[in-house]
Amino acid sequence: MTVILPTGCCFDDILDFQSDLWKADPARAMRQHIVHGICLIPPDQAEADQPYAHGWVEDDIENRVYSSGMVDGQKVWWAADRDEWYRGMRVQEKTRYTFWEALQMNWKTNHYGPWVETYRALCKEITSHD
C-alpha cells in the first residue's frame, strides 16, 4: 500500500495547482472549486481524532477530489472519488471557493490561506501575513 504523507503546504499547493490548470484548461479550472476545511486525523494514528486544517480541489462534474501529498520524498497529485475521500479524511467542515474567489482572498490577505479563522487556528505553523 502506498503511503501518502502531507506536504505541509496544501493551501499553497492547491492555489498553484489551479493557477497552472487555468493556463492549460481554463474551462476546467472554472468548474472546479478550491476547498479549505477541517478533517480528523485517522483513528490508527497517535493523534487520532484530532482536527486539522486541509486544502483540496473538487470537481463537481467528475465527483473527484484532487490533493497534494508526498510519496517517497516527492510531491505528487492524486485524485479520488469525492464521497470516498470525504469518508477517509473524515471531513467535518468546509468552505468552497471558485478560482476567482480564492485569487481575490489571496490578493486581499497576501497569503494562500486558510482564510477562515477556525481553520487557521488549526494550522501548526502559521505566521500572520495580515
* Rounded Cα gap, residues 30 and 100, in angstroms: 8
Q: Give Cα separations from 101 to 3, 18, 79, 115 (angstroms).
A: 32, 12, 23, 11
Distance CA 12, CA 10 (A): 5
Q: Model's pTM, two decimal places?
A: 0.89
- Rounded Cα distance between 57 and 112, Å, is 14
Query: pLDDT of the chain along its 130 residues, tens only?
Result: 777 888 889 999 999 999 999 999 999 999 999 999 999 988 888 888 999 999 999 999 999 999 999 999 999 999 999 999 999 999 999 999 999 999 999 999 999 999 999 999 998 754 443 3
